[in-house]
A and B are shown apart, each in its own frame.
Chain A
């Protein structure tokens, strides 16, 4: 069955994205289909109220701290940099799409590696642009890329009046 079906949700921060992942886990959802994409931020923040002796522990990269729960997604994690979008962190099944050889590309070469991966998931070109803009604006993108029934199930779990899900079929 075609795997060019994707459900995409954009979250304002890592905390919301993490809760969505936990919600899927609670429903025994197939986590092999789940991916997270976000911008790697460089800000530092204190880990504890009181300063610790070791400054390396006292300050930690805010992104790394938030993402430590998401590294566990099947498929691994990847840190990479795009000329337009800056540094990005991804975890989950999208990692294999980002790292695979691009011999079978059927789209214009001006697509970024991220755009190519999203296109291969079934996201149309027009929407890819919007998602790249959203990531640039520090939104966190959660994707589910699987069979049509998996995508529908994920959408059923995560879509509500305040959290918009979009289903892409190719």
Chain B
């Protein structure tokens, strides 16, 4: 990418705020960006897996849902919901095996991309990038671990509560507000949320309505926020509360 473009500066400012690039020396980031080109995907665009065997894509603006489907049943599971600064299908940087995924643009999406072989060469020549890259990969693995654990061990309501809690934006320590905004999932349809927890739209809709009636969640202008975080923690079951040092409480009025 040319350095004089306004978009170049925007990319740098977005990337510096992300786990993958935060703290990276400017000359290293400039060197990396010089290899990239600019891409956009319109909202709803479904990309085929082959693209990701040839190029590595980094999200700059918008969200991408990475799903895997069963062509016989039509059922889908969301493997990842990616936002600005995330790499799409980072596994392709590690090995060359075909990877069965289907990314879908949830918004109009801006990205930058580079041929996979150039990305691998660049990582080989910049071992300092691994200080960010390896923890980022670890984080992605943990998310998949959370997904498989949730699917195997918890009921749908617990899975949904845990999903929402994972996307709560932490408050500033001195903030007194009881409203908790959500990142990435704040305006998703029930269908998309269902794909993220391995359920169906009708079940998710029932649980969300129940929480709205209880005042746990609040939805306005297609924008959901959490109003009672502690109650949601209770629904998220013991494991989630323990992992964050909170005591589990008894659930009340849970719908069947």
Bound together:
yes
Q: Which residues of A contact B (CB under 8 A)?
A: 4, 122-127, 148, 152, 155, 159, 161-170
Pairwise interchain contact B37-A169, C-beta atoms closer than 8 A = no
Contacts of B1 in A (CB 8 A): 164
Contacts of A127 in B (CB 8 A): 40
Cα A170 to Cα B44 in complex, Å, equals 8
Contacts of A168 in B (CB 8 A): 39-42
Cα A164 to Cα B42 in complex, Å, equals 20
Contacts of A124 in B (CB 8 A): 40, 42, 108
B43-56 vs A: 1/0 string, CB under 8 Å?
Answer: 00101000100100
Closest to B47 in A: A169
A126 with B42, Cβ < 8 A, contacts A155-B37, A164-B2, A169-B47 known: no
B5 within 8 Å of A (CB atoms): yes
Q: Which residues of B contact A (CB under 8 A)?
A: 1-2, 5, 34, 37-42, 45, 47, 51, 54, 108, 113
A125 with B2, Cβ < 8 A, contacts A164-B37, A167-B39 known: no
Pairwise interchain contact A167-B37, C-beta atoms closer than 8 A = yes
Return B145 CB to nearest CB of chain A, in Å. Answer: 32
Pairwise interchain contact B37-A161, C-beta atoms closer than 8 A = no
Pairwise interchain contact A169-B34, C-beta atoms closer than 8 A = no
A169 with B108, Cβ < 8 A, contacts A161-B2, A164-B5 known: no
Pairwise interchain contact B38-A169, C-beta atoms closer than 8 A = no
Pairwise interchain contact A166-B38, C-beta atoms closer than 8 A = yes
Cα A59 to Cα B75 in complex, Å, equals 68
Pairwise interchain contact A170-B41, C-beta atoms closer than 8 A = yes
Supply 12 further A-B pairs (C-beta < 8 A) apart from A167-B38, A167-B39, A167-B113. Answer: A4-B42, A122-B42, A126-B108, A148-B51, A155-B37, A159-B37, A163-B2, A164-B2, A164-B37, A166-B38, A166-B40, A168-B39
Contacts of B37 in A (CB 8 A): 155, 159, 164-167
Cα A41 to Cα B45 in complex, Å, equals 38
A169 with B5, Cβ < 8 A, contacts A124-B40, A161-B34, A164-B38 known: no
Pairwise interchain contact A166-B41, C-beta atoms closer than 8 A = no
Cα A155 to Cα B54 in complex, Å, equals 14
Cα A163 to Cα B37 in complex, Å, equals 10
A162 with B2, Cβ < 8 A, contacts A126-B108, A169-B45, A170-B45 known: yes
Return A66 CB to nearest CB of chain B, in Å. Answer: 24
